[in-house]
A and B are shown apart, each in its own frame.
Chain A
Amino acid sequence: MTTDTVGTLMRTGEIEWSATGGLRFHGTAQAVFQWLDAAFERLAREHGAQPQPAPEAIAGDTLERAGYFEAFPGMGIPARSGAAMWLPPAVCYHAYPDLAGEPLDATRLVTLACGCGRNEPVAPEDPGRLQRFRMREIVFVGSPAAVTAERDAWMARGQAFATAIGLVSTLVPATDVFFGAAGRGQRLIQQLKGLKYELRLDAGPAGNIAAASFNLHESFFARRFDIHLSDGAFAASGCAAFGIERWTLAALAQLEPEAAAGLARRGES
């Protein structure tokens, strides 16, 4: 599209900032959001991922164990003042504690979604960077080879899904460190091993944004949460993550109004 649909919707109030640094959608935008949210859940279930509940708050102990506070100091948002609960910075942190204990004899796939929170700097002119957002993830745990194959399959599925609904996307290696200690060393290891890829979409005033990421954690989380394979080795893990607000902005920015309205009608039904 040549017109700035997202900018127009922000001016008319169909998309608005919430007081907590998230976006509120109304009308067609809300229906597109709902359709995308449901579509990613469907995609996950169709490919064998077991749905798992994901509360809107997570224990500080779990994030501590995952190394989150060390890797991303200052990025956590408390869920309630005085309580040891936090907004999940990513929904996959809910998955690892439940995978501990029983040795895995096959690759395990779970899918979760919830509202997440990160203390990101936000600017009114950039609706792509949010402090509150909804994320759907598919988490896979198993042998390194099986997890890599699953991650690669999800990269292809993510891009095929974008194409199927008419979005132009690019799949690129990511440069931001997403687990473990931040720094040049970790970033270069991530680059060398191809641990993280992003699916980027044009989203009007939000620019070209990473709307999905496809990640390999190697044994990082398995070591912290004691997740083992049946031969006693630590499992590998990986995930595919979809940011629903970012997909919504991209759909509204890239699609012709009638195509966006088509998604919206499917979201309302």
Chain B
Amino acid sequence: MTAFTDALLRFVREDLLKGRDVAIDPDTYLFADGVVDSLGILTLIAFVEQQCGRPIPDSEIVMEHFRSIRAIAHHFQRAS
């Protein structure tokens, strides 16, 4: 697991889910009921922007890049 993947996993577990009992691993689909909601997506985007050091345009916010923690890490690590 890369440092980016690890940081994302920690962020989703501790900041987005805030201790809720939802099992998350790098391949968990993030948009099932009760994981990432409309507030959570904004927080997640802000975290990814901070990690990769650039703003993320809305056009880049597609399921291919945000489906899971692994997909986010794969796309934004490479594209930053």
Whether both chains belong to one complex is answered with yes
Interface size on B, residues (CB 8 A): 15
CB distance from B77 to the nearest CB of A (A): 19
Residue from A188, A218, A219 with most neighbouring chain B CB atoms (10 Å): A188
Interface contact A188-B58, CB-CB below 8 Å = yes
Interface contact B42-A185, CB-CB below 8 Å = yes
Chain A CB within 8 A of B62 CB: yes
Inter-chain CA distance A188–B58, complex, in Å, is 7
Contact with B along A193-210 (1 / 0, CB 8 A): 110000000000000000
Q: Which residues of A contact B24 (CB under 8 A)?
A: none
CB distance from B42 to the nearest CB of A (A): 5
**Interface of chain A residues 182 through 198 with chain B (CB within 8 A):** 183-186, 188-189, 191-194
Q: Which residues of A contact B37 (CB under 8 A)?
A: 185, 189
CB distance from A226 to the nearest CB of B (A): 16
Inter-chain CA distance A110–B62, complex, in Å, is 32
Inter-chain CA distance A7–B72, complex, in Å, is 49
Interface contact A181-B33, CB-CB below 8 Å = no
Given known pairs A191-B61, A191-B62, A192-B61, the reply for A218 and B38 (CB within 8 Å) is no
CB distance from B59 to the nearest CB of A (A): 9
**Interface of chain B residues 50 through 69 with chain A (CB within 8 A):** 58, 61-63, 66
Given known pairs A218-B33, A219-B33, the reply for A192 and B38 (CB within 8 Å) is no
Q: Which residues of A contact B31 (CB under 8 A)?
A: 189, 192-193
Taking chain B's interface residues, is the majority helix, strand, or loop, or is none over half, making it mixed?
helix
Interface contact A185-B63, CB-CB below 8 Å = no
What size tier do the contact residues of chain A reach?
A: 10 to 19
Instruction: Pick the contact of B63: A180, A181, A184, A194 (CB < 8 A).
Output: A194
Inter-chain CA distance A192–B63, complex, in Å, is 5
Interface contact A192-B33, CB-CB below 8 Å = no
Q: Which residues of B contact A184 (CB under 8 A)?
A: 42, 58
Chain A CB within 8 A of B41 CB: yes
**Nearest 4 Cβ contacts at the A-B interface:** A185-B38, A186-B38, A185-B42, A189-B38
Beyond A184-B42, A188-B45, A189-B41, 15 additional pairs, beta carbon < 8 A: A180-B38, A183-B38, A184-B58, A185-B39, A185-B40, A188-B42, A188-B61, A189-B37, A191-B58, A191-B62, A192-B61, A192-B63, A192-B66, A218-B33, A219-B33
